[in-house]
Structure 1
Amino acid sequence: MSRLRLRQLVIAAESLKVADRLQEVLNLGEPFADPGVAEFGLENAVFPIGHQFLEVVVPTRDDAPVRRFLDRNGEGGYMAIFQTDDLKAARQRIDGSGIRRVWNIDLDDIAASHLHPADVGAAIVSIDEAHPWDGWRWGGPHWESNSIEGELSGAILESPDPNALASRWAAALGVPASTHPDTTKISLEEDQTLVFQQGAETRLEGFCISINNAMKALERADRLKLESNGDSVIIGGVRLVLNNE
C-alpha cells in the first residue's frame, strides 16, 4: 500500500497582498518565490508550516489558468498537493480511471502530475513524489529554517453533491471515502482529513491549520478587520479554520 499525505494547499489571489495577510495573521516565516511558476504565468509566495506548505499564486499574464479561475470564481482555494511514495503506480491508476493528467514533471528530487480540475472537481489536484520523503523542492532551498511549528490537518470542500465530489477525489487519490451523518470524509496519513460538505458551489472552501496560540492569530485578524467567525478567518477567499498545535 503506497503512502499518501497532504503536503501543500494553494490560494489563487489577485495580488501578493494576500500572502502578506497570511504572514501577518499566522506569524509565518519568510516566503519562497519560485521562479519556476513563471511557466504557468504566475508569481507566488510559499510559506512552510511544519513540514507542509501554504502557497499564494497570482497571475502575471491574461492567459494564465489562474487568471481564468479568478475571473470565474474570485479569490479562493485553487490547488491541493498530495505526496505519495509511488507516483508510477498512482499515474497508472489515474490513467486507468479516465482522469486526465494535464502536466507532468520528472526531476531527480521530485516528480509530479497535475490532474484536470474538470475531472476531479473543486480544485486542481497534484500528486507528487519527493526524494527524500521529507524533501520538497517547491518550498525552496531554505524552507526548514523558515518553518513555524504547526501543520495542515486537512481541507474542507463544498458541493451541491458532496458525495459525488468525494467519490471523484477518492478515485484521484486512490483512498476510500467514508460517509458520516452530515459529511463525507477521506482520511490520509498523519491524521489528515478531507471533509466534503453541502454547499451552493463546488469549491475548495477551507483549510484546517494547527498552529501555536491560534487565539492570538485570530486577535491579529480582528485588528486587521478581517472577516472572522469563531475559530476561523477568511483570507484570500479561503476560510482558515485555526486550532492550537
Structure 2
Amino acid sequence: MTIPRLRQLVIAAATLETADQLGELLGLGEPFIDPGVREFGLENRVYAIGDQFLEVVVPIAEAAPAQRFIDRGGEGGYMAIFQTDDLDALRARVDGMGIRRVWNIDLPDISASHLHPADIGGAIVSVDEARPAGSWRWGGPHWREQAVPGRLASAAMESPDPDGLAQRWALALGLTVDERVLYLDDGAIVFREGKTERLAAFGLYLPDAEEILERAEAMGLDVDEREISFAGVGLSLLE
C-alpha cells in the first residue's frame, strides 16, 4: 500500500451562505452539489482545488450528526478524507483496532469507509479508494473544468492529548508519527495541543494569496498574519 493522500477537507456550517462566502473568499470555481449527502441529513457544496476538494456541509435535519456537531461547538472542521490504494487492508486494520466503521460503500468507481470520530478522535475520517486513482466521484462529473489552481497541503488537529490522538490516526492510516506529524503522500497532518479535540486548521497553497488576504480583511474576517479565521477553521495560506 502506498502512503495515503489528503484528498478532501470538510467544514460543517449552519447555512449555505458560509459555502458561498468560502467560494468568494478563496476565488473558487463553481461548486458541485451532491444530492447523495441527503442520506446524512445534509446539503453541501464541493469546490475543486487542483485535484483536491474543499467541502461545506449544512445540516437540513435536526437528527443529522453535523447538527449535533454544530450544537456542541459551533461551525468548524468536520471531516478529513484520505485516498488509499488498498482500502481492504485499512478496513481490516481498523476493525482489529476496534475502530467502528459507521458507513461503507463499494461502487464501481470508488469505495469508502467512514471511521467513527469517537473512536479515532477529533473528526470523522473517511478513507476512500478511487478507480481510477485520478478520479473522484465526490467532486462531481465536471470537477476538472471547475477546479482552480492550488492544493491542500496540510491539516492541523488539536487535542488535550495530541500524542495519543496522533498515534491513533497513525495506526489507522498505516503511518508513523514523526514529532506529532503524519507525513502523507503530498501533505501532512499536524497534531498540536488544544482544549478540545478538533480539526482546527487547513493549510492551502493558492496562487493569489495576497488577494485572498485583502478580501478577508474587506469581509471583516479575523486575519493573523497569513491565517484567516473562517467558520471555526483557520485557513492558513502557505508560501
TM-score by length of 2: 0.98
How far apart, CA to CA, are the structure 2 residues paired with 1:212 and 1:42? 31
Q: Which amino acid aligns with 1:212?
A: P
User: What RMSD in Å do the two structures reach over aligned CA positions?
Assistant: 0.8
Q: Which amino acid aligns with 2:218?
A: R
Residues 1-245 of structure 1 mapped to structure 2, 5 A cutoff: 1-179=1-179, 184-190=180-186, 192-244=187-239
Identity %: 57
8 Å Cα contact 1:21-1:235 kept in structure 2: no
Q: Which amino acid aligns with 1:204?
A: L
How far apart, CA to CA, are the structure 2 residues paired with 1:170 and 1:6? 14
How far apart, CA to CA, are the structure 2 residues paired with 1:157 and 1:215? 25
5+ residue gaps, structure 2, are none
Deviations 1:157-216 (A, max 9, x none): 11111101101111221111112xxxx1000002x0101011111110000000012111
Q: Which amino acid aligns with 1:232?
A: E
5+ residue gaps, structure 1, are none
Deviations 1:68-95 (A, max 9, x none): 1010111000000000011111111111
TM-score by length of 1: 0.96
1:21 Cα offset (Å): 1.3
How far apart, CA to CA, are the structure 2 residues paired with 1:104 and 1:3? 21
8 Å Cα contact 1:114-1:124 kept in structure 2: yes
How far apart, CA to CA, are the structure 2 residues paired with 1:158 and 1:222? 26
1:2 Cα offset (Å): 2.9
1:29 Cα offset (Å): 0.0
Deviations 1:97-155 (A, max 9, x none): 11110100000000000001001111000000001101000000000000000000010
- 2:220 is paired with a residue whose SS is coil
8 Å Cα contact 2:202-2:235 kept in structure 1: yes
Q: Which amino acid aligns with 1:100?
A: R
- 1:177 is paired with a residue whose SS is coil
1:3 Cα offset (Å): 3.6
